[in-house]
Amino acid sequence: MKTRIAVIGIILESGSDSSQVNRVLHDYRDYIIGRLGIPYRDKDLSVISIIMDAPVDVTTAMSGRLGMLTNVAAKVVYSKKAY
């Protein structure tokens, strides 16, 4: 199956449960090739970027699960080329 490189931007706002986010990321660990998390204490939020190499439906499913969590926003950007 063809895969695409994707970057998922995640913002965890005040009151979000980081353990739920980590649980979702753990479920997709086989597709994640990189992760960067930055706490922004002045604004009481965290920003995470995830780089994935996965079929589009897998990336979409993960992003959807993240977006359904309370006080969590997630958006995806895909490479134009499929591998």
**Domain CATH for 29:** 3.30.70.1150
Q: Into how many domains does the chain fold?
A: 1
Host domain of residue 73: 4-82
* Per-residue burial over 37-72, b = 16 or more CB atoms within 10 Å of its CB, e = otherwise: eeeeeeeebbebebebbbeeebbeebbebbeebeeb
The pLDDT of residue 38: 97
**What pLDDT digit, counting tens, does each position of 45-71 carry?**
999 999 999 999 999 999 999 999 999
Range 7-22 average pLDDT = 92
| pLDDT at residue 69, rounded to an integer | 95
